[in-house]
Chain A
Amino acid sequence: QVQLVESGGGVVQPGTSLRLSCGASGFTFSTYAMYWVRQAPGKGLEWVAAISHDGNTKHYADSVRGRFAVSRDNSKNTLYLQMNSLRAEGTTVYYCARAQGGSSWQFDYWGQGTLVTVSS
């Protein structure tokens, strides 16, 4: 069955960096676009980044463009999110998600999320 497992979250100070990973299994990872979505406690969902199946095309939300970088290693079935210059935005859960139908900007499977806390 399809599984997405995020890791790499933690507590960091403003201005520092963190890299999240998302391990995928149960499907042909290299044929699916992948996404990162985040959510502050009690708040709505916010799209963060998108990457095409081959990693050649990437898109970012305005709020993270220039600070975050999405990448993937299809040989390792793993998606990454490099987060630099983190802002003191409190606690946020970061989810990775798979594109429904391969490339549709809709998400048919989500990971369980990894918690990132940026605080001084």
Chain B
Amino acid sequence: QSALTQPASVSGSPGQSITISCTGTSSDIGAYNFVSWYQQHPGKAPKLMIYDVSYRASGVSNRFSGSKSGKTASLTISGLQAEDEAVYHCCSYRSDNALEFGGGTKLTVL
């Protein structure tokens, strides 16, 4: 069982917006801004999308945005496109020099 809690799946139609939540504890998301999001297409390595809670990685579309409130981080994708269909993983630094990942959320573009 993953330390960070993400919904197993979300879906949306092209052009719509979706938000994926990632809930942690006061020892990880609630304490640090080292929160990142990764996109992973089938058979591929993960790709950094968001780091430090809300900063877009180089080359990432501004349709992707990140935020945090308390112990919950969120990834929002606006103007959904077919190519956004993938698994999204959240990640947070934890207080004892460790890293936690969520279980991953499969995004389906209808």
Contacts and interface: CB of A to CB of B under 8 A. Distances in A.
Interface of A: 35, 37, 43-47, 50, 59, 61-62, 95, 100-101, 104-113
A109 B47 CA distance: 7
Given A95-B45, A104-B51, A107-B48, A45 B101 contact: yes
Contact of B98 (A47, A107, A108): A47
Contacts, number: 63
B69 interface: no
B85 interface: no
B84 interface: no
B24 interface: no
A61 B45 CA distance: 20
Interface in B47-70: 47-48, 51-52, 57-58
B52 A104 contact: yes
Interface residues of B, number: 23
B2 to A, nearest CB: 5
A111 B45 CA distance: 7
B98 A113 contact: no
Interface of B: 2, 34, 36, 38, 45-48, 51-52, 57-58, 89, 91, 93, 97-104
Given A45-B89, A111-B45, A106 B36 contact: yes
A44 B89 contact: yes
